[in-house]
Chain A
Amino acid sequence: MTSVRRLARAAAVFIGIPAASLVAFLVQPALPALAAVGADHPDIGENAGPGLTVIQTVSLFVLIPLGVVGLVYLLVFSFSARGPRYRAGVAWQGPPRWWGGPSPNRLETFGSSLESVEPIEGAGGARAHW
């Protein structure tokens, strides 16, 4: 009983839907002819009115989208491009930047050459390249 019902449902899906589509496809070209029957009483909105001028078309389909794109662009870059930005691989020029480093007086005593400074025995740490 249930198997018969299931079979019928499958047949309805696999045959009914394509059949309905086929009918719709075949009838489609005849629709304007059917509509012409009531041509004496045109539907509301059937008259498209005068067309757009070139200026109106350009402003509607070119200028407004460009304006939206430009607005998004400005919103994105006005926030991200603010302030200086570090670029990797560009040689460091100018004085080094210290946080919690030796006092300026002490830095002057060994000047630019660190040759006179002896490394501390037993120092450790890590190194990395990126």
Chain B
Amino acid sequence: MPTGEVFTQHQLDDVERARKAAESDTGLSFAVYVGNLGGDTRDYAVRLHAALGEDASRSVLIAVDPGLRQLEIVTGPQARRYLDDRGAALGAFSMTSSFGTGDLAGGIVAGLVTLGEHGRHPAVLHQDEP
């Protein structure tokens, strides 16, 4: 399925807005990937996350493979301090419950909201800006 057939412009904007909101709430970087995740989806998603560059350590990657119905959330070591695996699992749960009804964009937005809420932390200058 090419992108043009899956998302409307409205949905594309919704996801981007939710991503920006999650970033401003948590101070972390969020990236969303929708596409093929190859054979070993976890390995592929972890490498995708590393490919985000020098920012990867404080990045959260949401990788969705609609064909395999597989969702992978990868948090960098710094991002994990604020968004632990339990919070990531809650985000994954809110996403898959929407995916199950066929709402791909809505699920991604819901996941970004949940992850943004769980990754929220007070800004501490000496930690966030070394």
Contacts and interface: CB of A to CB of B under 8 A. Distances in A.
A122 B36 CA distance: 24
B100 A95 contact: no
A121 B75 CA distance: 11
B21 interface: no
Interface residues of B, number: 66
A114 B51 contact: yes
B120 interface: no
Given A90-B67, A114-B47, A119-B50, A99 B15 contact: yes
Contacts of B56: 120
A46 to B, nearest CB: 59
Contacts of A89: 66-67, 69
A5 to B, nearest CB: 62
B99 A125 contact: no
Give the size range of A's interface with the partner.
35 or more
Contact of A99 (B2, B32, B84, B92): B32
B24 interface: no
A117 interface: yes
B17 to A, nearest CB: 10
Contact of B51 (A87, A100, A117, A129): A117
A130 B99 contact: yes
Contacts of B92: 126-128
Interface in B33-57: 33-36, 41-53, 56-57
Nearest to B71: A128
Nearest to B73: A125
Interface in B55-90: 56-57, 60-61, 65-67, 69-77, 80, 84-85, 88-89
B59 to A, nearest CB: 9
Contacts of A86: 1, 6, 66, 102-105
15 contacts: A84-B8, A86-B66, A90-B1, A91-B36, A94-B3, A97-B33, A99-B30, A100-B31, A102-B51, A110-B51, A117-B50, A124-B88, A125-B88, A128-B93, A130-B99
